[in-house]
Amino acid sequence: MARPRRIVLIRHGESEGNVDESIYERVPDHALTLTARGREQARAAGAELRTMFGMERIQVYVSPYTRTRQTLELLGLEPARVRVMEEPRLREQDWGNLQDLEDIRRQKKLRDAYGHFYYRFARGESGADVYDRVGAFFETLHRNFLRPDYPPNVLLVCHGLMMRLFCMRWFHWSVDEFEALSNPDNGETRTLLLGPDGRYTLDRPFDRWT
């Protein structure tokens, strides 16, 4: 199995929904675009990633949402060294169609009290549902690792909650540990590094709730 040396997760740059919750009443979540600040965050992250990857090949898995695809484009990775697969299982937690702003705020408060892993948005998903999607994606990922020409770097362009749940599943964190962690900021990365013992370690921890 040609396991990659690095598995890098990046959260998309700042989107319209990050600065204006009311947009969820008018625009589908999957169609939200990056703000000007979000585009700059993506470009800055791209400069760091290009330095990290150097001339090595990269396998990219990208959420199909507009803001993640825009983020990937703005990273500026060399196309000749990149293989891209759109991966719907990396999408954001589903909230269920267009939303009512006051209902969004009410449900977010309920989620904070109930728990981000178990709380299910009305007509949408719970964190546990997304966790199951991550597990299904792992099956594909590990099958791909079997390819003799698999690249030494994996890049997942996805969402904040997805990044936490990916690491929870990979490192077998408990639900309580997951609940104590915060999403990374827009444009932030976390990297799983393969050690000489064949195990992966996280380059830096997630921030914790205060």
**Residues with active-site annotation:** 12, 92
The residues pairing with 58 across neighbouring beta strands, listed in sequence order, are 82, 153
Q: Beta-carbon neighbour count of residue 210 at 10 Å? A: 4
The CA distance from 109 to 103, in Å, is 10
The residue assigned the tokens 């719970």 is 126
The CA distance from 208 to 210, in Å, is 6
Q: What's the token pair of residue 62?
A: 């990208």
Yes or no: say if 187 and 158 are a contact pair by the CB < 8 Å rule: no
Q: In what order do the strands lie in the sheet with 189-194?
A: 82-86, 58-62, 153-158, 6-11, 189-194, 200-202
Helix, strand, coil abundance in the chain, percent, nearest 5: 45, 20, 35
Map residue 145 onto helix, strand or coil: helix
> Please, what's the largest Cα pairwise distance for the chain?
52
